[in-house]
Amino acid sequence: MQTADILSDLIAFPTVSADPNRALIDYCAEHLNSCGAVVEVIPDATGGKANLYATIGPQDRPGVLLSGHTDVVPVEGQAWTVLPFAMTKADGKLFGRGTADMKGFVASVLRTASQAGKTELATPLHIALSYDEEIGCVGVRSMIDMLAAAPFRPRFCIVGEPTLMAVATGHKGKTGLKATFTGREGHSALAPMALNAIHLAADMIGAIRTIQARIVASYPKDPDYDVPYTTLHVGRINGGVALNIVPNHCTFAFEIRNLAQDDPEALLQELALAAEEILAPIQPDFPEAAIKIEVTNTYPPLDTARDAEVVSFVKSLTGANGTNKVAFGTEGGLFDQRLGVPTVICGPGSMAQGHKPDEFISLDQLAQCDTMLDALLDRLRTGI
């Protein structure tokens, strides 16, 4: 099968993160088994979702890992002009949810597995397919745990997120957080006699913005990023019951996206101190007042050196001269930091198309990815 044909099959599985991906994983497992791969499916507790890890070639040495996620973001509320879960071809492009992010790469990997199964490899090809990447690189962690206990870990990892086939060496880390505020309810006509939890939240948002301004003004920058500094962002706020009730409860969700040289734990300590300063003048009159900040999810940054062996290796496959860094997070930081596997990001398509209606990938980008993976197979045949 050609890459586009496999991609058509993959798009037909509506693997939104909230839903199971097992049917797609079973499809991939069947394909890889037919290529002679040693396949391990790692289900979650429900059995409805799973990771997949496969090896083609010798089992007694480390190889090159191709990593991709199988989940996609929702399509609800988006104005699609084509069916999102049925691939449409037009004007040299393939449309459908996940074409760019990142089933196009997965399709190219499966096509390459078919080629690998027909030849003898001196260095193994490893394939990792995960679930729930889109909600914070959640699913891959059980596979990371499995690999941590394995006798051999991959020598290199290529995460195939869309980079227009450029070699990317880094992305920021992310810490997802929830802030909960407790005040005292009351009638809005007597608002000053109560404690408005939404106002507490607003004060905390002000503190977050102050920290952000200081980061912009005085922290070191990394010009390889579109936004060259660590960012703090409040994305959702909930509070209040009725306009004439002073709310006693409010929450908001926020995040830190940190450069590799910035410590998110230090920023969390700053946020905790800011919360104490907000509460200090209030608690004598409102002892129940509280601000609770908790981490909901985290993944580390990727910061591979430009002169690392994995970088020169992948550049030799693509013909690239330079490198860049990507704004979005990937599972690459987990492979690098939790397993010590040197990692880069390189895949077909553009994230500018991801998460949007009428998502697409060009046939030219898929062809470039196939060419890179063909070059990889040539190297694996002779050994690296």
- Which residues carry out catalysis? 71, 133
Please state at what angle helix 363-382 crosses helix 309-318, rounded to 10 degrees.
Answer: 120
Beta strands at 156-159 and 64-69: parallel, antiparallel or unpaired: parallel
Q: Which residue has the tokens 């005040």?
A: 183
Closest Cα partner for 22 from 55, 71, 66, 68?
A: 71
Helix, strand, or coil (residue 29) = helix
DSSP H helical ranges for the chain: 3-11, 22-34, 104-116, 140-148, 197-218, 264-279, 309-318, 332-339, 363-382
Q: In sequence order, what are the beta bridge partners of 127?
A: 54, 66
In the numeric block, the tokens 């306009």 are attached to 243
Calpha distance 321→276 (Å, rounded): 50
- Is residue 369 within 8 A of residue 97, CB to CB? The reply is no
Cα–chain-centroid distance for residue 158?
14
**Side chain identity at 133, as an amino acid letter?**
E
Sequence-ordered list of residues with C-beta below 8 angstroms from that of 76, at least 6 positions apart, any chain: none
SS (H, E, C) 194-227: CECHHHHHHHHHHHHHHHHHHHHHHCCCCCCCCC
Q: List C-alpha distances in Å: 146 to 26, 36, 152, 227, 337.
A: 19, 21, 11, 35, 15
Report how far Cα 165 is from the mean position of its chain's Cα atoms: 18
CB burial string 347-384: b at 16+ within 10 A, e below: bbbebebbbbebbbbbeebbebbbebbeebbebbeeee
Round to the nearest angstrom and report the end-to-end CA distance of the chain.
28
